């Protein structure tokens, strides 16, 4: 991957990380996880693991602006790294793999971080998954054009 594409991905991660903190993307109380959807979409491009890890670390720092260790953000980062490897081994077409990963890792995240949230707020969880699916598909499509997949 050439330097210009790396700069575009880093810039996108930074912008999405900053947008993540704004309330403008809330729809009926559902807020998407922009970095989650973006980084899972990036898994399907010709990107090496070290650079992907750098993007995850940048995202972690942007989600934790106070620089404290935060268990939910740490869990999300680990799941994103797992998602990178799963994206490489799943047998289906890339877009179906992306859809499956967004659903699976979203559910696993909430089961680890707050099982009670899954029970009490299943409609919000479904809304967030749908929101992340739409955004992930958009990021994937934009990336396909950028990387000419």
Rg of the chain (C-alpha set): 15
CA distance 89 to 93: 11
Question: Averaged in consecutive runs of 10 residues, what is the pLDDT profile of the chain (149 residues)?
Answer: 90 90 84 92 92 92 75 92 95 94 96 91 92 96 81
Report pLDDT for 135: 96
The three-state secondary structure class of 23 is: helix
Read off the pTM: 0.91
Report pLDDT for 23: 83
Q: List alpha helices for 64-121, DSSP H.
A: 71-89, 94-113, 115-120
Report pLDDT for 149: 54
């Amino acid at each position: 991957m050439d330097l210009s594409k790396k700069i575009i991905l880093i810039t996108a991660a930074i912008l999405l990380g900053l947008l993540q903190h704004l309330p403008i993307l809330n729809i009926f109380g559902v807020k998407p996880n922009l970095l989650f959807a973006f980084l899972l979409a990036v898994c399907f491009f010709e990107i090496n693991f070290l650079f992907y890890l750098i993007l995850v670390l940048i995202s972690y720092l942007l989600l934790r602006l106070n620089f404290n260790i935060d268990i939910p953000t740490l869990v999300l980062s680990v799941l994103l790294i797992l998602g990178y490897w799963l994206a490489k081994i799943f047998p289906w077409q890339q877009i179906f793999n992306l859809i499956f990963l967004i659903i699976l890792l979203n559910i696993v995240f909430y089961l680890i971080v707050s099982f009670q949230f899954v029970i009490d707020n299943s409609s919000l969880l479904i809304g967030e998954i749908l929101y992340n699916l739409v955004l992930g598909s958009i990021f994937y499509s934009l990336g396909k054009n950028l990387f000419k997949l």
